[in-house]
Amino acid sequence: MTVLSNRLGGTPGIELEAGLSGPDTPAEVLLDGPAVSVGAKIRAYVALTKPRVIELLLITTLPVMFLAAKGLPSLRLVLFTLAWGTMSAGSANAVNCFIDRDIDAKMRRTRRRPLARHQVSPTAALVFGVALGVISTAGFLATVNALAAALSVTAILYYVFVYSLLLKRRTKQNVVWGGIAGCMPVLIGWAAVTGSLALAPFVLFGVVFLWTPPHTWTLAMRYREDYAIAGVPMLPVVATEKRVAIESLVYTWATVLCSLALWPVAGLTAVYGGVAVVLGAIILFEGHRLLGRVNRGLTGALLRPMRFFHLSNTYLALLFTAVAIDPLLKF
């Protein structure tokens, strides 16, 4: 399982310089200084894995396991899948922190990450990330199955090489195609239970894929200057606010329609269907409201893009909760 970089569950709010260092503090002072406790070092390494990002990814993994099992999956299998999935996601995130350490130091939202604050050396972060990837892959092979292991490795490699190294700094479509990495937990959860893939997990893959751009773009609207300073061509940096709002709305409509397609494809009950309809109506209302604020000439903070961002987090979490609960109704 891997991640959507700074997107899924990304920490909102302005992160000011504080704590052990600023970005210009020599690394060796922090790494070897007596004031740095073991606990502080552990927290720094944990921060490299971006725990808040992992939380939301786990929310998309577990429900799919219920759906694949048509009820309660094996507790042992769930624990192993989530454990190795967490390490896999942490691996991709840690390597991403290594790659993005220069731009993280420039952005208010990310300048408190361990490498930007020199709490961990770049080499140590890279070794840590690779080690997590190796351990998680071995764990999947030993306790889950080869398909889940292969999907996990694919997700890590895609996130690191395709998104972080190839797309992120080169194209405004970075989060559209880079978001594929964040969809992989859905396939991993299904493969862990069944040892194969089917149409239903690919429909949910589509839900996460289509959900990612508007979720990320509304966050980027709030931190447009950050991305501009860092040289990351997010859509809100290179396009007008109206275009961002329109494209976000198009993707939101596609997300809702894809979520409704799961209803017949997976043979779910009216409970899931009702939840999908209600959640879809709410998220679409907010998307249209954002476009309405743009059309009224509102700009900057008056657009309130973070309302959509936070609501989209809630939307995905509740939708996948319905995915998990629905099979239990027939169990």
pLDDT-derived band at 299, boundaries 50, 70, 90: confident
DSSP for 77-92?
A: HHHHHHHHHHHHHHHH
Closest alpha carbon to 204 in 7, 62, 54: 62
Encoded tokens for 167: 């797309």
Q: What is the DSSP letter of 226?
A: H
Return d(Cα 151, Cα 192) in angstroms, integer.
Answer: 10
pLDDT band at 14 (very low <50, low <70, confident <90, very high): very low
Q: What SS3 state is found at 25?
A: coil
> How many Cβ atoms from other residues are within 10 Å of residue 180's Cβ?
20
pLDDT, greater one: 25 or 229? 229
Contact predicate 3/56, CB 8 Å:
no
| Per-residue model confidence (pLDDT) at position 22 | 36
Q: Are 179 and 116 in contact (CB under 8 A)?
A: no
SS3 94: helix
- Residue matched to tokens 């609501």: 311
Q: 106 is in which domain, residue-wise?
A: 27-328
- In angstroms, rounded to a whole number, what is the distance separating the alpha carbons of residues 253 and 141? 38
Residue 191 maps to which CATH number? 1.10.600
Residue 95 placed within a domain: yes
6 in a structural domain:
no
Q: Is 171 helix (H, G, I), strand (E, B) or coil?
A: coil
Higher per-residue pLDDT: 32 or 128: 128
Please report whether residue 22 resides in a domain.
no
Q: Are 331 and 233 in contact (CB under 8 A)?
A: no
Mean pLDDT calculated for residue range 111-128: 95
In a domain, 7, yes or no: no
Domain membership flag for residue 19: no
Q: If we measure between CA atoms, which residue out of 98, 108, 99, 121 comes closest to residue 29?
A: 121
Residue 129 resides in a domain: yes
What tens digit of pLDDT does each residue of 77-91 get? 999 999 999 999 999
Number of domains in the chain: 1
Q: Does residue 165 lie in a domain region?
A: yes
Residues 6+ apart with CB under 8 A from 45: 114, 120, 128
261 lies in some domain: yes
- Report helix angle 146-157 to 122-143, nearest 10: 160
Above pLDDT 70, what percent of the chain?
89
- Does residue 29 have a pLDDT over 70? no
Q: pTM for the whole thing?
A: 0.88
